[in-house]
Structure 1
Amino acid sequence: MSKLEFFTDPVHAAFTFGEGQVGALLVHGFGGTPADIWQLGRRLGEMGCTAYGPSLPGFARDIARLEKCGREDWLVAVRETWQRVRAAHPTTILIGYSMGGALALHAAVEHPPDRLVLLAPFTRLRGLLVQLVPLARHFRKNYYPYENADFSDPSLRQDLATIAPGADLDDPAVQQALRQQVRIPLDAVHELMQLGKNALRLAPEVQAPTLVVQGKQDPTVKAEDTRTLVRQMPAGTLYHEIDANHHLSQGNAPYHRQVFPLVLDFLGDVLKD
């Protein structure tokens, strides 16, 4: 069986862009890497920020440890980085994508930024099988996301080109390796679900001016769930739904051309400080 190498591209590593007075922390999603928010971080660095994109425990090159990681590990990583950003910069921005949105919301409630941006913020998973996770995790250790994958799907091929660059997706041996080697611990999925519930509960406590951007065709974070989150947040929260799927901030997806102007316009007065 082929042995695949994952997350070898430098965009999956933690980053720091820029050397400005304004500090921005960008937090990636579940199963993701700093590549989720790399392009946005680079843009903020070009505009005078210092943009930080940490790699969360159990993801990217640390993916083998995911079964040993949970929401407290992710929260601690974000809190520690957020503390360093706040100590180093008089003006701060906090940006979270997907699960990173739930983590950013926690951090923003504890220590408010000058601006908070939530991109497709995760609060819940949907589906009958998902609801069985709390029980199923005691009987089945892992979920195999590519077990029944259609490797001719252009969207899937685009995702895999980033995750496993150089892999021949038309090679049956490579396809078999992806089906069997790529696994997500159900314990980690359960931790994600609990994190999302807590984020929704904390939403009314957000004090920072906030922008939320959501894709209408997002199959992962449903627009109706994000609307529920926004309704829990203080009046004045800015909410935009755009014609997009879940990949709002990745540079290899077209939607960042809609998302980045919304974010930069929202941050305008802060970026001028």
Structure 2
Amino acid sequence: MTFLLNGLVFILIGLQLPGVVAGVPTGLRWPLVGYGVLISLAVLGARMLWVYPSAYLPRWLGGSRARSAEAPLAEATLLGWGGMRGVLSLAAALALPLALPTGAAFPQRNPTLLLTFVVILVSLLVQGLTLRSLIGWLGLEADGVAEREEQALRVRLATHMLAYLQGPEAAGQAPAEILGRMQSRYQIRLDRLQRRAAGGPGAVPEATLSPFQKLQEVLIHVERGLLEKLRHEQRTNAELLRKLENELDLEEGRLALDKAS
């Protein structure tokens, strides 16, 4: 929903911009663009003035342990540079009424909107397009926290599922042979995850699919091709096709997890 709303807002920018520019006197357009650039610099400077103290003050006021930690200068710089203008700035400008209670046009509405558009575009094009280069220049790298959290969660899920399959609740859910196959599947996954956690990615051999899983992959591909043919024939309910394709996506996702783990 957030992605759709942001997309609609920037479509609105494109639709409004020609009318806004036409409503600004010709001799005032380029000066307003220059003012918009200056406002962008002021906004960026104000953000930096806020980000740096907010990064350092908690460390200075947090006792000896907090002071001993290295201040995140590079992280603060990236955080300040990444404060691009967008939806909120445009919403504030568009909230200006078209007319006064007397019926007269709202004064300087179009110049205000043009200034806002310039600030948004400058922040997106300059700050946005240089963000990757800034990350490299600052020497920032991924800390691996997300990967470790994902790894821990996978281990927890595999352990829980293995315990469930070995418990009395799963005994009546399927024949013993099927339960044994599923237990073996989760045990293999858990072993791989634990070896990876103990020795790093290099300790785990490249995951391979079993013949059963390979057949599953082939059947998913064949079934997806059949659904595509049915879609072109236009004799099958489109909503039903989407439901079946979603089930195939989930099955492919499960196979991908088996490869990854």
TM normalised by structure 1 equals 0.18
TM normalised by structure 2 equals 0.19
Greater strand share, 1 or 2?
1
Greater helix share, 1 or 2?
2
